[in-house]
């Protein structure tokens, strides 16, 4: 903010100086005013664009995390595992080849004789649980979170697939997210599954994940024993 104020002040002073230079026919003074205006303009632009480098830092951090979790999943032979989000305290996202366990500790471990990798989830704590779990209510709530609040995609559609299955179609993903869609720990899939678990207050299993033109298709099973 300081840089913006400095830049705006420099532009104002230079404009005044330039006007004075024109009136007094001192072209050298106009030149100095233009120089000051240029410096002020540069400060102004840099001051206003300071949020974007922060995004760059987050993306670098995301890249490190995605690589680290991929290495862990490789070592545990869980590259073709399924994602399961277990509601409760703490909420955990579990990558395992077996069925969704009732509860696991965050980190690495074994369940049903098979290894798992679980991540404790703290996101979307302020999301209120839906009164009625339908495709329409999930779609509306997910749109509110992922499109209106986070601006991560252009459109989202949810279809009921019979029983506790829901199919989510998301298109126009932000570049930052689509870049990581091929990683085993895909941030977008994780966000959708976690948000759905928070909204429904139930466990969520990502049954299937596939690419569609300009987006992804996720099949989620929502239920206490997902």
Binding site for another protein (CB under 8 A): 26-32, 34-36, 38-39, 41-42, 45-46, 48-50, 52-53, 55-56
Would you say 30 or 204 has its CB closer to another protein? 30
Would you say 22 or 212 has its CB closer to another protein? 22
Measuring CA to CA, how many Å separate 181 from each of 63, 144, 150, 175, 216?
A: 12, 22, 17, 10, 9
CB of 15 to another protein, least distance (A): 14
CB of 90 to another protein, least distance (A): 34
Would you say 60 or 225 has its CB closer to another protein? 60
Strand order through the sheet with 107-111: 107-111, 114-121, 91-96, 82-86, 203-212, 215-223, 165-171, 155-160
CB of 27 to another protein, least distance (A): 4
Residue pair 124/145 in contact (Cβ under 8 Å)? The answer is: yes
Would you say 35 or 174 has its CB closer to another protein? 35
DSSP at 78? -
Residue pair 206/222 in contact (Cβ under 8 Å)? The answer is: no
CB of 190 to another protein, least distance (A): 24
Q: How far apart are CA 77 and CA 87, in angstroms?
A: 25
């Amino acid at each position: 903010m300081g840089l913006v104020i400095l830049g705006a002040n420099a532009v104002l002073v230079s404009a005044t100086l330039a006007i004075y230079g024109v009136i007094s026919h001192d072209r050298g003074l106009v030149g100095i005013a233009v120089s000051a205006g240029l410096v002020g303009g540069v400060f102004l632009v840099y001051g206003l664009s300071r949020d974007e480098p922060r995004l760059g830092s987050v993306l670098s951090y995301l890249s490190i995390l995605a690589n680290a979790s991929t290495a862990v999943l490789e070592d545990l032979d869980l590259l073709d595992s399924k994602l399961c989000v277990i509601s409760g305290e703490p909420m955990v996202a579990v990558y395992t080849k077996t069925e969704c366990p009732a509860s696991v500790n965050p980190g690495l471990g074994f369940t049903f004789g098979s290894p798992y990798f679980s991540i404790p989830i703290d996101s979307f704590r302020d999301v209120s649980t839906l009164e009625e779990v339908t495709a329409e209510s999930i779609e509306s709530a997910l749109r509110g979170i992922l499109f209106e609040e986070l601006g991560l995609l252009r459109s989202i559609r949810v279809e009921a697939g019979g029983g506790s299955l829901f199919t989510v179609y998301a298109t126009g993903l932000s570049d930052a997210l689509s870049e990581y869609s091929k990683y085993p720990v895909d941030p977008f899939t994780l966000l959708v599954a976690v948000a759905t678990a928070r909204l429904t207050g139930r466990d969520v299993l990502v049954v299937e994940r596939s690419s569609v033109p300009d987006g992804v298709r996720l099949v989620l099973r929502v239920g206490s024993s997902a």
